[in-house]
Amino acid sequence: MSEPSPSEFRELVRGFFEQIPFNRQIGLEMHELDLEQLTISACFELRPELIGNIWKNILHGGVIATALDTVGGLTALVAAYRHLGDIDWQEKIQRLSKIGTVDMRVDYLKPGRGESFTCHGSILRTGNKLVVSRMELHNDGGELIATGTATYLY
């Protein structure tokens, strides 16, 4: 297989994203992928099994961490893809398939209340081995629920 076109690449990323089993547990779906700005957004709906506190009906912190890590990692994947430039497609795929989270900080700013949530990822730095992503989670009322910063190795 040869280098995909931008729209093919976007669909590849979406396919990669949506086949991850634990993302399906959360119901996380990729919404936008901007190959120029290197930003990604993904959404999910509140569902009973995502609750961490049944009295307050708020998201489990682990759901938030999952959304942030997933979106941050996918943003890092796209940034690494761009950074690798014109190397052979097979070699690119090889490098990118090894991407993994090194560490992540999550700040829980407000209780995770809402009917639906949007997670947005952007890039702080892309290097030859590491990418640093920054992530934000908003609820459907536009409130900033959580932010994260994570380092990915590829």
Binding site for a copy of itself (CB under 8 A): 19-26, 48-55, 60-63, 65-67, 69-70, 73, 97, 100-111, 124-125, 129-130, 132, 134, 144, 147, 149, 151, 153
In the complex, least distance from residue 46 CB atom to a copy of itself, rounded to whole angstroms? 11
Buried b / exposed e over 2-29, threshold 16 CB at 10 Å, is eeeeeeebbeebbeebeeeeebeebbbe
Q: Which is nearer to a copy of itself, 26 or 38 (CB)?
A: 26
Q: Which is nearer to a copy of itself, 5 or 21 (CB)?
A: 21
In the complex, least distance from residue 100 CB atom to a copy of itself, rounded to whole angstroms? 7
In the complex, least distance from residue 10 CB atom to a copy of itself, rounded to whole angstroms? 21
In the complex, least distance from residue 7 CB atom to a copy of itself, rounded to whole angstroms? 24
Q: Which is nearer to a copy of itself, 39 or 70 (CB)?
A: 70
User: Closest by alpha carbon to 17, among 61, 66, 84?
Assistant: 66
In the complex, least distance from residue 103 CB atom to a copy of itself, rounded to whole angstroms? 5
C-alpha 146/C-alpha 132 separation (Å) is: 17
Q: Which is nearer to a copy of itself, 31 or 111 (CB)?
A: 111
Helices 61-84 & 6-18 angle (0-180, nearest 10): 150
Q: How far is CA 132 from the centre of its chain?
A: 12
**CB 59, CB 52: distance < 8 Å:** yes
C-alpha 44/C-alpha 103 separation (Å) is: 23
